[in-house]
Amino acid sequence: MDLNADLGESFGSWRMGDDPAMFQLVTSANVACGFHAGDPVTMLDSCRAAYELDVTVGAHVGYRDLAGFGRRSLDMSFDELFGDVLYQLGALDGVAHAVGASVDYVKPHGALYNRLVNDAEQAAAVVAAVNAYDPGLPILGLPDSELLKQARDAGHPVFIEAFVDRAYRADGTLLPRSEEGAVLHDVDAIVERAVRLAAKGEVVAVDGTVVQVRPDSLCIHGDTPGAVEMAAAVRAGLEAAGIDLESFA
């Protein structure tokens, strides 16, 4: 099982999370590409850390929305979104290659991630951009999303992600952050959820429905308070359950 986190989200003198500690715990890092978060120096530091610790780098592409941290959905034309994703891929991949690393998968961020569950036009723009950059680049996302359907049709390897610290609705989508209880904080419950997802491929939704997920990767948000302790507990819980941790890519 892969364990991923959204990292490299600091910007200038503003700091988000404890990346040095998180890089020690994950097997894959979704590195911000400068549009929703991150900057060239942060990208460079992230790629260096990933290379030194043998952590797989993924391009965490998002809307051009620094002020909103990429959590505001934007209406964009096909060409606008195509260009923005292509730009972010090229930026992070160039930085990665400069330090001996590489971008080995793509995972959209925030509002873009959620919109690509159902928005066929925006999914088409993202898949087209990834395909234009590297036709074999894997894409990580929610099961049954437009993103993964179109990526699979375009010939990309696709991988399914589940979230150990986010609440689910009965349809397998995430409960919006605007709703109470969307982000989980009980470490014991999160560890139990992570082990259940990895071992049984299922998660309990907010209404009690058991949702089948069958993930290839489990995500812990690096910007959540107590993220390092949570990630360490999740990793320890998975290992104690006999689940090997390795990157899906």
For 185-214, the pLDDT digits (tens) are 999 999 999 999 999 999 999 999 999 999
| 29, 220 contact by CB (below 8 A) | no
pLDDT band at 223 (very low <50, low <70, confident <90, very high): confident
Residue 113: per-residue pLDDT: 97
Residue 224: per-residue pLDDT: 79
Question: Which residues, 6 or more positions from 97, have their beta carbon under 8 angstroms from its beta carbon?
Answer: none
Q: CA nearest 61: which of 10, 107, 11?
A: 107
Residue 88: per-residue pLDDT: 98
| CA 3, 62, 69, 93 torsion-angle sign | positive
Task: Please state, in angstroms and as integers, the Cα–Cα distance from residue 166 to each residue in 28, 63, 162, 174, following that order.
Answer: 18, 21, 9, 7
Q: How far is the C-alpha of 56 from the C-alpha of 58, rounded, in Å?
A: 7
The helices-and-strands tally (H runs, E runs) of the chain is 8, 9
Residue 129 has pLDDT above 80, yes or no: yes
Q: How far is the C-alpha of 170 from the C-alpha of 176, rounded, in Å?
A: 13
**For 154-160, what is the mean pLDDT?**
98
Average pLDDT, the chain: 96
Question: Which residues, 6 or more positions from 102, have their beta carbon under 8 angstroms from its beta carbon?
Answer: 57, 93, 96
Q: How far is the C-alpha of 43 from the C-alpha of 53, rounded, in Å?
A: 15
Is 3 in a helix, a strand, or coil?
strand
Longest dimension (CA), the chain: 48
Q: What is the pTM of this model?
A: 0.95
Helices marked H in the chain — which ranges?
19-23, 40-53, 78-98, 110-115, 120-133, 146-153, 187-200, 227-240
Beta pairing, strands 210-212 & 202-204: antiparallel
Q: CA nearest 13: which of 41, 32, 48?
A: 41
